[in-house]
Structure 1
Amino acid sequence: MTAGIDTPDHRGRTGLHLTGRELDRNPDVVVRDVEVLSNDWYVLRATTFDRRGSDGTWRTERRETYDRGDGATILLYDMDRRTVLLTRQFRFPVYVNGHPDGMLVETAAGLLDEDDPVAAIRRETVEETGVEIGPVQHVFDVFMSPGSVTERLHFFAAPYRADDVAGTQYGVAAEGEDIEIVELDIDRARAAIGTEIVDAKTIMLVQWALLDGPFA
């Protein structure tokens, strides 16, 4: 008996080896086997499938996918003061891959868990910035790393005001979060792309805000 497959794992999940077996939307792809490599918290799978190429030849391929669930992110903006409200927190994956100190400047974001995208981003905005947002604008949905990660990220934007910001440190302590909020002029944020701002979702939302959003 294997936890996560035959019996519940520590998150109460079973049947983790079944994901993808039912796929039939693409007649040129036939899933043959799904192996769960890890399910400590998120799920790492190796899937074997047959794929028909453009020349008509079938070949067998094996690909690993990392399933952490879908997420949501939001750009908080103040049109009158031309500012955006971002966060700064430690991210070990970027630290181990060359970032100077691992302290990444980002838009507020988080996983959906069991919530719909709007409910999730409202929850995450309060947890990470302390701001209670009103109506949100859906911007777009994006697959952030389609070569290996299944996550679809839902992008939103919403206004905030200076008096919505009541502190500088936020995050859920029980989850190890220690988050500083960072307010930047939108032009400074644009100029910081590639230096101080190297997070993909944040770059995308800053550019959207200038091209098609509130600062266009």
Structure 2
Amino acid sequence: MKQKFNRQDIELLEVKSIFNGFFTMDEYRFKHKLFKGGWSGEVKREVFERGDAVVVLPYDPIRDQVVLIEQIRIPVIRSGQTPWLLELVAGMIEPNEVAIDVAHRELLEESGLKAKQVNLISSYFSSPGGTSEKFDFFWAEVDASLAKGVHGLDEEDEDIQVHVMSREQAFTLVKDGIINNASTVIGLQWLELNYQNLQK
């Protein structure tokens, strides 16, 4: 499918910073072409500028096991049953870093594992209505028998518990709504569609 519009169909009037803390918030003023023809009026949107990140699915194709991590996510306290979430490994890409190097680093920091291989699967936007954040999604071949313990960086106040489970058990947690964060749902659904190829 060829989409009708691209970046040239936006008139960017102004981008200004309206908050600069641990994260930043920018205000965009713009006009854009309309599907029905012509141009929009001026549109104003606040954009949460978080930076880009990697997400890594640690999978052992020999044992057919997945390595998940569990940590506290305080924003979930408002609407989740528990703010401790089962997740895939993930981390922010700092300026001048290469995504695959970040994938290797975060896998070691958060799970204690070194990958036999790491492969880029896709890239996707986490919540494009409000944030510019883009995830590069990797799967990492690991030896799940080596996964155990509590990990994370003290200077980042991380407290990360490692869990090893079968691929089937992990996907059941998705189907039952226990795993309910987007990156982990996406990663485990991808694994369910592709695990047979990985096992070859």
Give your verdict on TM over 0.5.
yes
Return the offset for 1:199. Answer: 1.2
Residue 196 of structure 1: aligned partner = 178
Correspondence 1:1-80 to 2 at 5 A = 26-54=7-35, 55-80=37-62
State the partner residue of 2:3.
none
Q: Is structure 2 residue 77 aligned with structure 1 residue 95?
A: yes
Q: Would you tell me which structure has more helix in proportion to its own residues?
A: 2
1:149 aligns with 131
2:68 equivalent to 1:86: yes
**Compared CA separation, residues 163 and 187, structure 1 to 2 (3 A):** closer
RMSD of aligned alpha carbons: 1.6
Question: Structure 1-normalised TM-score?
Answer: 0.83
- Give percent identity, aligned residues only: 27
1:146 and 1:189 map into 2 onto residues whose CA distance is 27
Taking the aligned partners of 1:144 and 1:162, their CA distance within structure 2 comes to 28
- Listed as ranges, the gaps of 5+ residues in structure 1 are 1-24
Q: CA separation in 1, counterparts of 2:178 and 2:149?
A: 19
Is the Cα contact below 8 Å between 2:31 and 2:39 reproduced in 1? Answer: no
2:140 pairs with 1:158: yes
Within 2, Cα distance between the matches of 1:135 and 1:86?
17
Q: 1:128 aligns with which of 110, 117, 137?
A: 110
Which residue identity does 2:143 align to in structure 1? R
For the residues of structure 2 that align with 1:27 and 1:77, how far apart are their CA atoms?
Answer: 41
Q: Which amino acid aligns with 2:114?
A: E
Q: What residue is the counterpart of 1:111 in the other structure?
A: 92
Local SS of the residue matching 1:65: strand
1:137 lines up with 2:119 in the alignment: yes
**Structure 2 gaps, min length 5:** 1-5
Provide the secondary structure at the position in 2 that maps to 1:156. Answer: strand
Of structures 1 and 2, the one scoring higher in RCO (CA 8 A, sep 6+) is 2
1:183 maps to 2:164: yes
Q: Given the superposition, is the C-alpha separation of residues 197 and 51 from structure 1 closer, same or farther in structure 2, using an over 3 Å criterion?
A: same
Which residue type is aligned with residue 113 of structure 2? Answer: V
Match of 2:149 in 1: 168
Per-residue CA deviations over 1:65-114 (Å, capped at 9, x if unaligned) read: 11111100111111222110010000011122x11120010000000113
Structure 2 length-normalised TM: 0.89
Counting matched residue pairs gives 190
**Displacement, 1:163?**
4.0
In 1, distance between residues paired with 2:11 and 2:18?
A: 20
CA contact (8 A) 2:66 2:144 kept: no
Query: How far 1:57 moved relative to its partner?
Result: 3.3
